[in-house]
Amino acid sequence: MFPADLKYTKDHEWLKPMGDGTALVGITHYAQDALGDVVFVDLPEAGEAFGTGEEFGTVESVKTVSELNMPSEAEILEVNAALADHPEAVNEDPYGKGWMVKVRLKGALAADLMDAKAYEALVSAESH
């Protein structure tokens, strides 16, 4: 539920540093569970740049919509095109096939990103 190699935001996005200045970004298991069945993911174009916390897309479920916020300043390299036909991957595999964008990080990682332990504590507090 909380992979140790990821960084987390308080808005329930995850960021996976790949070690070469790039990273993958998606939403957490907790986030997909709260949204329910995902039916559409609206993503930006490659080349667009976003500051830390800036909205870069939306994820729509049957019952609601949620903004996607960039965990750390970055430029979009690639979006997960498979989500156009298979948005349910976000529910089924949020840390794998449900990834949303691949980015090139700019500068240092945002200071308020959490490790798995801190994020687990946040989720635990929110669900009680």
Partner 1 sequence: MSTVAAELKKTPLNAAHRALNAKMVDFGGWDMPVQYPAGILAEHEAVRTKAGLFDVSHMGEIRVKGPGALALVEHLTPNAVSKLAIGQVHYTAFLYENGTFVDDLLVYREGEQEFLLVVNAGNSDKDFAWVQQHAKGFDCTVVNESPATGQIALQGPLSVGILQPLTKTPLEPIGYYFFTHGEVAGIKCLISRTGYTGEDGFELYCAADDTEKLWNAVMAAGTPKGLLPAGLGCRNTLRLECKMALYGHEIDDTIHALEAGLAWIVKLDKGDFIGRDALLAAKAAPAPRKLVGFKTLEKRDIARDHMPVVQDGKQVGFVTSAAPSPTCGINLGLAYVPTEQAKVGGRIQIEIRGRAVDAEIIPTPFYKRQK
The binding site for partner 1 (CB under 8 A) comprises: 33, 36-37, 39-40, 42, 58, 60-65, 91, 128
Task: State the minimum distance, in angstroms, from the CB of residue 67 to partner 1.
Answer: 9
Task: State the minimum distance, in angstroms, from the CB of residue 108 to partner 1.
Answer: 31
CB nearer partner 1, residue 97 or residue 106: 97
- 32 DSSP 8-state letter: H
Polymer length of the chain:
128
Question: 109-128 burial by CB neighbour count: b if 16+ within 10 A, else e?
Answer: bbeebbebeebeeebeeeee
CB nearer partner 1, residue 69 or residue 72: 69
Bridge partners (DSSP) of residue 67 are 58
Task: State the minimum distance, in angstroms, from the CB of residue 81 to partner 1.
Answer: 14
Instruction: Give the Cα separation of 26 and 48 in Å (integer).
Output: 17
Give which of 76, 67, 61, 60 is closest to 24, Cα–Cα. 76
Task: State the minimum distance, in angstroms, from the CB of residue 46 to partner 1.
Answer: 17
Structure tokens at 83: 């989500």
CB nearer partner 1, residue 61 or residue 72: 61
CB nearer partner 1, residue 108 or residue 125: 125
